[in-house]
Structure 1
Amino acid sequence: MPKNRPYLFYELTNSICSTCLRKVEAKVIIQDDNVYLHKHCFTHGPEKVLISTDVEYYKRCREFIKPSEMPLQWNTPIKYGCPYDCGLCPDHEQHSCLTLVEVIERCNLACPICYAESSPHQEMIRSLEEIDRMLDAVVRNEGEPDIVQISGGEPTIHPQFFEILDLAKSKPIKHLMLNTNGIRIAQDREFVKRLATYMPGFEIYLQFDSFEESALRELRGADLREIRKKAIEHLNEFNISTTLVVTLKKGLNDHEVGEIIQYGMKQKAVRGVTFQPIQAAGRLEEFDPATDRLTLSEVRQMIIDQSGVFKPEDIIPVPCHPDCLAMGYALKLGDQVMPLTGLIDPNILLEGGRNTIVFERDETLKDRIFELFATNLSPSSQALSLQSLLCCLPMVTVPEGIGYDNVFRVLIMQFLDPHNFDVRSVKKSCVHIVHPDGRIIPFDTYNMFYRGDKEAQLEALRRGEDITVL
């Protein structure tokens, strides 16, 4: 009698060896109710990496795929094959939903975990001319970019910070974000007052990892509890749209997922929470990828178990990159929060909004939700308006009768690294970084191959030389 393997072979893809970064074949297998990436490097041997703890959700992601949206132009040719041709090369399968423009490498923190390896010791501060060229590169690719995020380093310490915002606002960008640790926002009320003048279409992407000193010291190297409290006070005062951004490390701050969501829902300015499991990139002190990493499915289950608001049907894959992005939307009506995503037929997201809202879970919600809409809107236009809300990332356009203040979202944003890297998945990446030379590169591959001196390492790989990642 033939002996069965102890797993189900689900699909085949390509990955990279986490030691030498060479492309290797990889099997996706289902074993013991988990999903693993099993790969073999002929030099460094086998690797088995956990990529999902929810088999059914992993399979469901294959159903949340929409036709790829392309940029207006490509930036590099196909020469070496993915992921060595970024980008964006014609083999990529998604335009830029969100593009980061890094304006400075210096930071007023030296976080033990930082994908960009920023610190007070870094010197690079980009000129307005260089930043202008980088913004123009995004516009050339996108026409009217959905979201551009001013990032760093810590962008608020750039000596020409407000000139950068003015420059970005002069471009045809639909939604502008500021990625910040919140220190200047906490310490300078007049600075925040001036930020409010950039509303609407402007949002703060605020680092907010924990309520506990020990977790903050391990992740950020400092006790930032009072800084976070004061920053939120200032943002609430001027009602500046804010997303709380939580870097999650297994066993450190993952028990706070629900508490942070509940806290965010009570803040006037907070429009949602984004959870980002640690990517094995950049500076990683006290981090073991074998024991400290979290999968998207684990974070999704934490939201369901801890939030007291979202049910499994409320946290769904994002169609443009379902492997690495999951989202849930809710409406805030005074003290009441009503999950919204589970009420929407998925075909609205996948087929252009031809279907209307379904209210199978709670028929009584129907009247409450439609009270928020203008009475002269037809059901079809209501559905189409909701479609503009239920995109993969926050948008400015909202339905008539409802303000952006009423929307609350949770987003899980998992980035690929040399351990869980999947070529099939990275081709769908829609979060990109602008290289100073104008290339638009997926966040995942930028941190592995294209940041700073890593490009020299990549060139060695392209020449067929052996390298070892430290």
Structure 2
Amino acid sequence: MATEVIPVDTISRHVITETKSVCPECNLVLPATVYERDGRVYMDKVCPEHGRTEELYFGSYDMYVKFSRYLHNGKGTENPNVRKVGCDCPNNCGLCESHLSHTGLANLVVTNRCDLTCWYCFFYAKKGVEGAYVYEPSLQDIKEMAEQLRAERPVPGNAVQITGGEPTIREDLPEIIRIIKSTGVDHIQLNTNGINIALKPELAKIYREAGVNTLYMSFDGVTPKTNPKNHWEAPHTIEACRKAGLGIVLVPTVIKSVNDHELGDIIRFAQSNMDVIRAVNFQPVSLTGRMTKSEREKYRITIPDCIQRIEDQTGGMIPKEAWFPVPSCVPITHFVEAITKKPQYELSIHFACGAGTYVFENKGKLVPITNFVDVEGLLEYLQEKTEELEAGGNKYVVAAKILSKLPTFIDKDNQPEGINFAKLLFNALVRHNYSALGELHKRTLFLGMMHFQDKYNHDEERLRRCDIHYLTPDNRIIPFCAFNVFPEWYRDAIQAKYGTPIEEWEKKTGRTLEQGLYRGTLRRGKKAAVAGCAVGALTGEKQDHKVVELQVK
């Protein structure tokens, strides 16, 4: 690809920090500058061979400053599975001594087969591609990967997302779930498009009884145009989960100019199904493949951009002030550690990676937690009490102080009816009694954002703090934004090594890949020979999907 000449205004920009990134063409590690210009945050880097890349990093400088206050170096790992001296990101990646976060959520890929053929997906097994393979680890491989997660120290991994491909294609999925559960993993998410559950509703109960806690379901919009993947099937899946008592997280991949106008509608859809939908986790799209700057600008959207659209599309009901970065919960972790004297789960990802808020339903309206809780004041107070405990303070005296102080952070006049939030917090933080929180979840909706990196906006400081990791059969635990951003080094290389050539797999199983494809059984109108996300269905115009790939996992 020819070097793209990009004029960059270096005079009007305000440098925020220096970091390391990569050339999106050759993967050369480069020094990079993160800076503010016109109220937005950008990254700039120059490859000696392929030239300059300037990329939008964070859509609001004000939000960047607010979120950056919560930057925190986490616990890392005491038993790294990749030995190396000093940081060499993103080379030879696994959990090394330089990594700053333990595993918060482990992705375990059980297949790269899928029942859809979405044009933008990079993951599913495709025929006609040189070296194409089917990757499906054995039950023994899966057990060993889960055991590797549980062996992590100082905090054993305790949450797994079963992913693919489409995991429900595997007929032995219930056994896979039970095996993972048997290793001591408490929380299991199932990442799915939901189609097989829509076709066979009994699967929801089977998966729940096997050990799945949450269905993590792709849901990109409320119309067939924005959500051609499972628009017709999702209601059937939701109803099956409702009957089975299996909670759902909706996962919209947000693409500028494609579905970013429906974020408010997605939240309203979730609100109308709050008895079974527990959360919406928006994922601003990561851009992979070769794309010009103008192409990237067409599709690129960041966390602050999504948050602003949600404020606009909900009529200000969920304002940008309601959102906090994921590491803002670290003071809560530190307080619980000071009380229990035991290491706890610590979500220490980079502040630019993710954000969230809770909204409560009250008289048909959604009320953000910040409408009745002084979140910043509460977090500062908990940090103060943590320091008091660490200095030798009596935990019973501290508990009494907290019991007295907590109500001052709650606005009782704006608190949703029927909720004593101060009492709930005290029981959870001090008494470790979480029973009431279960009932509370039925009246709340968690709204999250998670923006995975790509080669254009890759930041070493973000990668070092990543806490969403992949388990691999070579006994490594690899950060998400190494595994997928550098597939030639990690995802594709590892899965090809442990996979089976498609022709060999078909001969061995007596099946073809095509036999596993969804034919649009539940879709209105004419059924398709092969169902998926047609290019035109998303954008209304023809795209060259060999040039533009959108990362969605």
Provide the TM-score with structure 1 as the length reference: 0.84
Helix, strand or coil for the counterpart of 1:243?
A: strand
Letter in structure 2 aligned against 1:107: C
How many residue pairs end up in the alignment? 436
Q: How large is the Cα RMSD of the aligned pairs? A: 3.1
Aligned: 1:248 with 2:254: yes
Aligned-residue offset at 1:290: 3.6
Aligned: 1:55 with 2:55: no
Is contact 1:101-1:433 (8 Å) kept?
A: yes
Give the counterpart of 1:113 among 108, 120, 134: 120
Taking structure 1 as reference, are residues 372 and 61 closer, same or farther at Cα in structure 2, changes over 3 Å only? closer
CA offset digits 1:414-458 (Å, max 9, x no partner): 0011000111121111111112212111111101221113899xx
- The CA distance in 1 between the partners of 2:170 and 2:59, in whole Å, is 42
Aligned-residue offset at 1:324: 0.7
Taking structure 1 as reference, are residues 177 and 91 closer, same or farther at Cα in structure 2, changes over 3 Å only? same
Aligned-residue offset at 1:275: 0.6
Aligned: 1:96 with 2:103: yes
Aligned: 1:426 with 2:463: yes
Give the corresponding residue for 1:414: 451
- The CA distance in 1 between the partners of 2:169 and 2:290, in whole Å, is 21
Give the corresponding residue for 2:203: 191
Aligned-residue offset at 1:226: 1.3
CA offset digits 1:96-130 (Å, max 9, x no partner): 11110001111111112224244588522221011
Taking structure 1 as reference, are residues 32 and 276 closer, same or farther at Cα in structure 2, changes over 3 Å only? same
Helix, strand or coil for the counterpart of 1:402?
A: helix
Question: Which structure 1 segments of 5+ residues have no match?
Answer: 389-395, 457-468
Helix, strand or coil for the counterpart of 1:365?
A: coil
Give the corresponding residue for 1:346: 376
- The CA distance in 2 between the partners of 1:150 and 1:455, in whole Å, is 16
Aligned: 1:11 with 2:17: yes
- The CA distance in 2 between the partners of 1:239 and 1:106, in whole Å, is 28
Is contact 1:87-1:442 (8 Å) kept?
A: yes
Letter in structure 1 aligned against 2:160: V
Give the corresponding residue for 2:485: 448
- The CA distance in 2 between the partners of 1:92 and 1:188, in whole Å, is 42
Question: Which structure 2 segments of 5+ residues have no match?
Answer: 1-8, 328-347, 386-401, 497-547
Give the counterpart of 1:315 among 305, 308, 323: 323
Aligned-residue offset at 1:73: 1.8
Give the counterpart of 1:124 among 130, 135, 142: 135
Is contact 2:41-2:60 (8 Å) kept?
A: yes
- The CA distance in 1 between the partners of 2:23 and 2:288, in whole Å, is 15
Helix, strand or coil for the counterpart of 1:48?
A: strand
Is contact 2:77-2:96 (8 Å) kept?
A: no
Aligned-residue offset at 1:196: 3.3
Letter in structure 2 aligned against 1:22: L
Taking structure 1 as reference, are residues 127 and 333 closer, same or farther at Cα in structure 2, changes over 3 Å only? farther
Give the corresponding residue for 1:138: 149
Helix, strand or coil for the counterpart of 1:50?
A: strand
Aligned-residue offset at 1:349: 5.0
Alignment of 1:51-450 (within 5 A): 51-78=57-84, 81-118=88-125, 123-141=134-152, 144-198=156-210, 202-217=213-228, 220=229, 224-267=230-273, 268-281=275-288, 288-308=295-315, 309-319=317-327, 320-321=348-349, 322-332=351-361, 335-341=364-370, 343-346=373-376, 354=385, 362-366=411-415, 368=417, 370-371=419-420, 380-381=426-427, 397=434, 399=436, 402-449=439-486, 450=490
Higher Rg: 2
**Identity percentage of aligned residues:** 28
- The CA distance in 2 between the partners of 1:341 and 1:438, in whole Å, is 42
Letter in structure 1 aligned against 2:476: R
- The CA distance in 2 between the partners of 1:333 and 1:119, in whole Å, is 48
